[in-house]
Each structure stands twice: as structure tokens, then as C-alpha cells.
Structure 1
Amino acid sequence: MSNAEAGEVDLQPIIGAQRVLRARISDEELDSPIRRIFPLWMLQRALRLRQLTLVSPSLWEDPREDPVANCAMTRLRDEKAGCDFRQTFLEHYLAPAWAQSWSFNPGSDTLLRAYSRVLLDELEGRNTDPRNEGVTVTTTPRRLMRAMSKWAKDGAKYHFVIARALYGSEAQIHEWVGNVVRGPQGPRFFQSVEGRADSLLWKRDYFRHEEEVRLICIKREPTVDEGKLKHFQFDPNETISGMSFDPRLRRFEQLEREAVVRGLGYTGPVTEDSAYHRIILDIQMTTEWPDPA
């Protein structure tokens, strides 16, 4: 495998913002659309407070999403330590981090159903589970980097990374971690910005369809616990390039959702997702056909 395939992330600093870095996103992709499905209530909160929230990996639903946190170094015989068994978990070396996931995937029913739940009431046609309803929000890597550059000015102790995830088998991930901890820097590699970013950009092949782009905040100097959530101010109209509501919603309810986000100050495009529209196909005939029985 090449260095990139082996997981050695090449972090490129953004001009004028040395603590804002990107990896595995080409110059040509900086203005390509990336998407995130926000829970409806979370999007409304983000617009109301003008905040984007990054989450500690310890809160992620997949317990193997932060693979290095689940690894331990074990030595059955350690003469220097004078013991027959020694074990240390790598989670003690990890620099504090918070992240938010986006995707290059142009949209799919699989992702929609994974992150948005719509159960229409038979009488009124309304969604009976709006808390778990999702809204597809679109931006670009460049727009996110502009926001990250502002965060870096306000928080000197943080570094910010935006990068495409790298997918591999569990065996590949395990091999990479082993090579790192047995390498020159050892487990202290994960205390660096590069090492912590790299550890959070490995994902199992099981999730390859997500085509994930991860926005990561890393703090190099471990201090007191700063909590599981990290909030950063942003301008929704500068950062968001568009949004669309779940296409399974009836049109009247989509318009109600739009009225709410407009009331919260969002002025950008809201497009109607036609993925679930019924389409009549017109077949041109040159012969007669029988009447229905």
C-alpha cells in the first residue's frame, strides 16, 4: 500500500491559518458539495444560536468509530518492569478531540433512512416523529474552512482538520495501529495533531458508502476535562449553501419547516427533494391499444 493508503495523513495548512489543515481533499474538490443530515431540532438550534457543535468520539454510536481508543499495548514478560504481564490502553495517549461528520455522497435512500425518520399519520399526513426527522444541509470544504479559520483565531489552543475518511478492513486498521505504536514515536504519536487526526480518519469498510468527510477539533495539550461537546460560532448564510427537507414529508409540512428556518434567519436556498415524487411516464404509441377490461 502507498503511504496514503497506509493511513499516514498528509496535513496541508491553509494559507494564513497554520492551525487549520486539510487532507485527502484536492484543490478541485474545495468547492464540491458535501452534505450532512442534521436532526431537525439540532438544525433549528444551530440556526437560533448560530453554533456548530462538534462531539467527542466517546459519544458516537459506533463503539469502534475511534479504533485507537479500543487498543491496548500488551507485553507478557517485562523484565524491566519486573512483571510477567503489562498492559496499557492507548486511550490514555489520545489528544482531546471533537468532530462532526459530512459526506461527499450525493444522497441515497440508505443514508436518508439511517439519519431521518418519517412516520406519516394516516389522518393528517403529518410526521409523527419530528424529533428524529432529518434535514439535508449542503456546504463545501472551502466554506467550512473559512469558518474553521475564524475558530482558530478565537481559540489559540485548538487545531482544526478537515479530511476525507480512509476506509479499510479491521485487519488493516489493526495493522496500522500496531505499526505506529512499534514505530519511532510510539504511542505518543497520538498526542500530536497529525496522529490524533489520523486515528480519527480510519473507518471500517462497512461504512464506505458514506464517503465521509470529517471536521475535527484537536487540542494538543491535555488539561482538565472540557466536556463532550464543543460549540463554535458560525454564520449560517456564509457556511450553508443549501438545504432540503425529507422528501417523504407532505409538501405542506415541508413549507412549514421552511418558514421556521426563515424565521431563524436563514436566507439561503431551500430546494425540494424530488426523490419520492410520483412521476408519470408518457409512452408514445404508434398503434392502437385495447380498452381496459
Structure 2
Amino acid sequence: MAFNPKNVFDLPDLDVPIYRIFPVDRFRQVMEGRKLALVRPASWEDKFENVLLKSKASINTKEIVGLCDLREKMYGQCWMLCPDSEAMWKLYSFPSELPSRWFHRAVYKVNRWLNGLPHKQEGVKVRTTPRKLFTAFFKDSEQYCDLCYFIGRVRYMPQQDIESMLKDEDQVTSLVLDSTGRGHAQSLLFKRDSFSHEQEVRLIYAANDGSFDPNRALYLSDVAPNSLFEEVSLDPRLATVERDDSIARIRSWGYQGPINQSTLNIPPHFTVDLDA
């Protein structure tokens, strides 16, 4: 399967590692259902997301129109270039828990999650590359594939620069009225620089092939997990007994590749020399 390189944005090295953290139940769904789920950007926490297609537009007749028809056709999934990040573990696992829950159990000498829900929402991180991900995602057998499938690196900009861009008639017109669909996809690839630690790469689907269903909350893409995921890493907060149990469960779901645990929460042990 081949993809159109024009649908790849700001990713000069397609073989660099990228990562995604799933809550464990979502990872199980990927393994057993063999599908990746892309969501509408409206569900993302940052309310500045997709700000262009949330805007109203003034056309030559001075009529004010909404861009909701374009906005509702877009679906995305976020990956990251950062190999390991405590902030991202917190963001993508335990989505419903309070920050006060976030302590490593080793401090308290307990062998369960502090919220009393063992193995419910801990994170599972997978590694792949943009090339593998987009090759699996891009359906080159479809007539309108070039209008629908995109991948790109997020650009992080000061908020005032984003606001200036939205006031640039030529730039906005080139994005909104781009008949290739690439402008619509690129509108999802800029974000305020206060989020730059995320180092995001986004997989984007645009329902530009006539199949758009306004009631469809997800776009599901077929994948072969054992071919796509080069490695699985477990949540750094898992105790040893939980780690071993998680490995067994992930194997039972069919994953055949390497499994390790993030080392973020392993305390360092040094012997230092004193000149005394």
C-alpha cells in the first residue's frame, strides 16, 4: 500500500519513532478489534483547537457564514515525538481521576491503584513510526483517498501569531477553500505554544468522499497491531506484581512484540565519593 507524500506535513523523517499512550481498556479494544479510533477535535480538551473551522467567515457578499460543515467532517488522533513524559502519562490515563490520585504506590507500600480500580485505566504506550502509521491508515484503493487521509506535525505558535494568521485573508482563504482537502487538514496542525511539550503528530481523516454521517462520533481505521506497534511500554506507576499481570494480559490479547515498563518512576541509586 502506498500513500501520497503531499498529504504528509512537516515530517521530513518518516522513520523517526512516535508514541501514543492509551488507557489500558482502549488498548485492549485496539488489539481485539484491530482498529484505531479517530475522534472529532471538538472532544479535545484545549478549546482553542481547530479555531479556524470554529470561526465564522465573511464572504464577498458580506454575508456571514459558518464553517461547521467543514469542521464536523474532521477526525483526528494524537501521537507524540517525545519518548517518555510524565505529563503525557497523566493526560492519557486515569482520565476521570483527580490530580491528588497521582502518587506512586511504592511510597505507600500498597499493591493496588490508589483509586481502588486496579488495571482499569492505567496507561499503555505504543511505539511506531509515521511511515508505518500512515501506510496502515492511508487507503489507496479508495477513489478519493487523497482527499481524506493526512498526517502531520503540529506547529506550536504564540497565541497572538495564531490570531494574526486568522486575520490574514490570503492565508485563511488558502486553507478554507483548498479543494485538495490539505488546507482543512493543516488547520488542525497549529496550536498555542504553551502546549509545545506535547510534541504532537496528528493522524487526520476528513470525510470528503461523500460518506459523511453527522451522527458518527468516531472514524475507525483497520490496522494490524502486531505489524504497527514495534514496542509496548507499561505505566511507570505499576508495582511489580501489577506489571507482571499486565504483561500476561497484553499477551492474552495477542500482542507479540517487546513489552517493557517506563523507567520514569524508578529512583536513582548512586554512590558518591567524598573528599574527606
TM-score (norm 1): 0.78
1:219 deviates by 2.3
Unmatched tracts of structure 2, length 5 or more: 95-101
Separation of aligned partners in 1, 2:183 and 2:51: 13
What do the CA deviations read for 1:188-238 (whole angstroms, capped 9, x no partner)?
Answer: 33x641111111111111211101000111122554426110111111111
Q: CA deviation at 1:53?
A: 0.7
> How many equivalent pairs are there?
262
1:25 to 5, 8, 11: 11
The structure number with the bigger radius of gyration is 1
Assess if the C-alpha contact under 8 Å between 2:144 and 2:208 holds in 1. Answer: no
Residue 210 of structure 1 aligns with an amino acid whose one-letter code is E
- Whether 1:201 and 2:189 are equivalent positions in the alignment is yes
Aligned to 1:275: 264
Residue equivalent to 2:77? 100
Change (3 A) 1:195 1:181: same
Q: State the partner residue of 1:67.
A: 51
Give the corresponding residue for 1:12: none
- 1:187/1:193 Cα in 2 relative to 1: closer, same or farther (>3 Å)? closer
Letter in 1 for 2:54: N
Quote the Cα distance in structure 2 between the aligned partners of 1:155 and 1:37.
32
The answer to whether the Cα contact below 8 Å between 1:163 and 1:213 also exists between their aligned partners in 2 is yes
Q: Which residue of 1 aligns with 2:207?
A: 219
What does the per-residue CA deviation read over 1:40-62, in whole Å, with 9 as the maximum and x for residues that have no partner? Answer: 11001100111111111122222
Cα shift readout 1:19-43 (whole Å, capped 9, x = no counterpart) = 88211111xx222111111111100
In 2, the alpha carbon distance for the partners of 1:208 and 1:248 equals: 24
- Residues 64 and 70, structure 1, Cα contact 8 Å, conserved in 2: no
In 2 relative to 1, CA 155–246 (structure 1 residues): closer, same or farther, beyond 3 Å? farther
Q: Indicate yes or no: 2:32 matched with 1:55.
A: no
What stretches of structure 1 of length at least 5 have no aligned partner?
Answer: 1-14, 288-293
Asked if 1:249 is matched to 2:238, the reply is yes
Question: Which of these residues, 1, 6, 18, is aligned with residue 34 of structure 1?
Answer: 18
2:176–2:184 contact (8 Å) kept in structure 1: no
Do the aligned partners of 2:165 and 2:172 also contact (CA within 8 Å) in 1?
A: no
TM-score normalised by structure 2 residue count: 0.83
**CA distance in 2 between partners of 1:181 and 1:206 (Å):** 26
In 2: Cα distance, 1:106 partner to 1:134 partner = 14
Larger relative CO (CA 8 A, sep 6+): 1 or 2?
Answer: 2
**1:1-293 alignment runs, 5 A limit:** 16-18=2-4, 21-26=7-12, 29-73=13-57, 86-94=63-71, 96-117=73-94, 120=105, 124-127=110-113, 128-129=116-117, 130-149=119-138, 151-153=139-141, 156=144, 159-180=148-169, 187-189=176-178, 192-221=180-209, 223-225=212-214, 227-284=216-273
> What displacement does 1:173 show?
1.7
In 1: Cα distance, 2:143 partner to 2:75 partner: 14
Distance 2:143 2:31 in 1: 22
